[in-house]
Amino acid sequence: MTDLAELLAGAADARAAAPRVAPTRPHVGLRTASRWFALAATEVIEVVAAPAVTRVPAAPPHVLGLAMLRGRLLPVIDLELLVTGRATPRLEHGRAIVARHGDVEVAIVAVATRGLIELADGDVDGDAAAAPGGERPAWIAREVAAGDALFAVIDAAALIARALGSHA
C-alpha cells in the first residue's frame, strides 16, 4: 500500500509541476505592410487573389471600394489604413481574406497570408499590447505571439462595425 500511495503522490506532484498550456483556436494569418493580423478560422470564408476594386464616392479611405467575388458584391477594407494611415501596397501576388460576421461579408487586403495557425486565447504576457503609434484599436481583441510573428487578433464584429459604420 505504501508503494501505491507514493506512486499516486508522485503523479500528483508531476501534474502540479507541469506547465499549463493555454487553450488555442485555429486562425488565418494575414500581413499588411507593417504587421501580422489573424482572424478566427470560423469567420473566414475564403482566401483569394486580390480582387479588382471599384472605388465608391464618399467612402472612408480604409474602404478601398467594392469588389465582385463569386457573384457577391463585397466592401474591400485596408487594415493598414485603419492602423497607420498608410495603404497596404497592392502587389501582383496580393491576397484578400473574405471574412463574415453575421450576414455581413468583407474582403480584407493583404500582402501575404498564412494558413491555419493555432493561437492561444490570451494576450501576449497578459498585456494589452498597443498598435504602432499608440493605443490598440477596439477591433483588435488581443495580440498573441506564434512562431516568429506577433499576431493582432481581429474581432470581426468590431472591425466590420468600425470599417462600415452604420452599413453593417
Give the C-alpha separation, 128 to 125, whole Å.
9
pLDDT (0 to 100) of residue 104: 93
Give the helix, strand, coil percentages of the chain, each rounded to 5: 25, 40, 35
Mean pLDDT split into 10-residue runs, the chain, 168 residues: 64 61 87 93 94 92 94 94 87 88 94 90 53 73 90 94 72
Give the C-alpha separation, 109 to 74, whole Å.
12
Q: Is the dihedral of CA 52, 54, 55, 60 positive or negative?
A: negative
pLDDT (0 to 100) of residue 15: 59
CATH number of the domain encompassing residue 117: 2.40.50.180
Range of the domain at 116: 22-167
Does residue 163 belong to any structural domain of this protein?
yes
Does residue 2 belong to any structural domain of this protein?
no
Picking from 149, 151, 121, 146, the residue whose alpha carbon sits closest to that of residue 136 is 151
Does residue 33 belong to any structural domain of this protein?
yes
49: left (phi over 0), alpha (psi -120 to 50) or beta: beta
pLDDT (0 to 100) of residue 136: 81
Give the C-alpha separation, 60 to 166, whole Å.
13
Does residue 7 belong to any structural domain of this protein?
no
Beta bridge mates, 95: 49, 110
Does residue 128 belong to any structural domain of this protein?
yes
Does residue 8 belong to any structural domain of this protein?
no
Does residue 99 belong to any structural domain of this protein?
yes
Pairing of strands 104-110, 72-77: parallel
pLDDT (0 to 100) of residue 127: 42
pLDDT (0 to 100) of residue 68: 95
Number of structural domains the chain divides into: 1
Give the C-alpha separation, 19 to 38, whole Å.
26
What's this model's pTM, rounded to 2 decimal places? 0.78
Q: 67 near 107, Cβ under 8 Å?
A: yes
Does residue 5 belong to any structural domain of this protein?
no
